[in-house]
Structure 1
Amino acid sequence: MSATPPKNDAWPAPRNWLHVWVHRRRRNYPPPMPGLVLKWELHKGRWRAWVIWVDTTYDKPEIRWDWLGVDEMRPAKSDINVWNDRRRR
């Protein structure tokens, strides 16, 4: 595959990382925050992920990272092939 694939060429979806919505609390506030899974591991019989996310809980957003359980995140719709659809402005 070339570095600049033609428009009708599609890249396969990545297997090791995933865009997610992170929700650290059980109540409605704060709303879910955008994150990226960087690594998965099985820990004491349960899956967890090393995640980096933007913490929007306070006035000034901050970058956070930690091991999160699967109950603290949900997949976010993401398409790697959006780069093939149209030119950036």
Structure 2
Amino acid sequence: MFTSIRPEIKTIIFFIAYFITAIISEKVSPSGVCTPGAGFLLFMLSIPISIIYSLILYFKYNRSENKQYLNCIYIISGFWIILFLIFSFNN
């Protein structure tokens, strides 16, 4: 079922679902002053997940020369740039 879906769409769906889960987890188990909540931990875990996923996509791109994998890397990079800008201007 999921093998026919383009990698770009899989990437977008994964990150949307992951951050919705992080937001819900933060509402259920909020962070305190000295105790990080589940949402904060999921957000911090998203950084290595993104790096590892980008490396896997890069190796797949080098092996197959399929532009879809390179587009996924651009989507991940763009997502982090947008997230950084949102947090920068949210002060």
- TM-score of the aligned structures, taking structure 2 as reference length: 0.26
Which structure is larger by alpha-carbon Rg, 1 or 2? 1
Normalized per residue, the structure richer in helix is 2
Normalized per residue, the structure richer in strand is 1
